Every structure is written in structure tokens, then in C-alpha cells.
Amino acid sequence: MASTPKAPPVDKRRQILDAAIRVFARQGFHATRVADIADEAGVAYGLVYHYFKSKDEVLNELFSERWSLLLAAIDEADRSEAAPRAKLEAVAGFIVDSYRHDPELMKVIIVEVTRAANSFGRTHLPEIRRAYDSIARIVADGQRQGAFRSDVDADFASMSFYGAIEQLLSGWIFELIPAGDGDFEQAKSLVVAAICDGLEPR
């Protein structure tokens, strides 16, 4: 062959990360030994430490990879010309689709980072917080435009909105509420409806 296969045909690093998603999702971070990751990846124990400084770094990498996409999606929604309500729909849509596309990864991120406030959540608080802040900016903008009532604090609304979505994902993850294909679509509009329209009839 003329090509120089400098990089090996299979990306072992990626292989380890993907294996880690599966194992973390199945057993939880604390209950998985590094050997479990290596086994699942079909790779020797030591190789994990060739590519990652520690077991923690594997999880950090998984989180950062995905969370940066979320931050980008929120910012993109914010910068768009859409109506405030449509912006929130875009954010909810992105998160729900993330779960639909890769439930195991989202499970790991939520259970092991976002909600693990005493371990990884603390480490990544600044990044997590950036998401809350960006959502709050969308809300505040909507209030300035008169699309949202102004007697609700934007930070508060942001927390409620995000909390509601995350609780929904948790419900799916732990099979507390049905997670059919239609449920996802329905959920997207329902979270926004709940926060924007409220429950009371007009």
C-alpha cells in the first residue's frame, strides 16, 4: 500500500472510551474497576494508563466531550433569531435527542457528573453552571421582549427548566416513566409547555 498507516487501524483510545461508557452505565463509576474497562474494550489493563492519566480522567473526557456540545447547542439557540419559546424548545430538543441518540452516555453524564455533586459534579461545576447561565440568558431575553412574564427570576426559571428536563431523563434512565419513541417527541414540547404555559387552563 502507498498509504502510511501511522495511526493504527483501530483507535484504541476511542475503543477504551466507548467501553467505559458501557461499563460506567451498567455498574456506575465507583463500582467499575479499571480492569472492567480494559476487559470490555478487549485491551490490556495497562493500556488504559497509556492513554489516560487516571480512571477519573476517562470520565472527565467523556463528560467534557459531550457537555461542550450541549453548551454549543444552547449558545447557538440563544444567538438565533427564533422566538424565546422556540429557543427553549431547541434546548430541550437537543438534550432529549442526546438521550435518544446515546442513552448510556447521557446516563453516565447525568448520574456520575451532573448529579454527583460531591465528586465529579464539584470538579465540573463551572462548566455545568455555564449551561444554567446560558439558559437564564435566553429567559431574560424573552422577558425583555415581553414574551415571558418578568416577575419570575430568570436564574430561577433556568434552574427549574433544566431541573425538569434532567428529572425527565432520570425517569427514563430508571424506567419510572415510559421511554417509547413517541414519548421523546411528546416530552420535548411538554417540558416547554409546562414551563411556558403552566398547568392552569387559559
Partner DNA sequence: GGATCGATTGACTGGTCAGTCAACCAGCCT
Partner DNA sequence: AGGCTGGTTGACTGACCAGTCAATCGATCC
* Longest alpha-carbon distance in the chain: 70
User: Using CA atoms, how far apart are residues 61 and 19, in angstroms rounded to an integer?
Assistant: 13
Burial of 196 (0-12, 13-18, 19+ CB in 10 A): middle
Establish if 118 lies at the interface with DNA (CB under 7 A): no
179 binds, among a copy of itself, DNA, none (CB under 5 to 8 A by kind): none
Establish if 119 lies at the interface with DNA (CB under 7 A): no
Q: Which of residues 60 and 119 has its CB atom nearest to a copy of itself in the complex?
A: 119
Binding piece for DNA, criterion CB under 7 A, among 38-46, 104-112, 156-164, 190-198: 38-46
Pick from 14, 20, 49, 196 the residue near DNA by CB under 7 A. Answer: 49
Establish if 176 lies at the interface with a copy of itself (CB under 8 A): yes
Q: How far is the CB of 110 from DNA (least distance, A)?
A: 21
Binding piece for a copy of itself, criterion CB under 8 A, among 11-19, 46-54, 75-83, 165-173: 165-173
- Residues 16-35 as x/- pattern, contact with a copy of itself by CB under 8 A: -----------xxxxx----
Using CB under 7 A, list all residues that contact DNA. 4-5, 8, 12, 32-35, 43-47, 49-50, 54-56
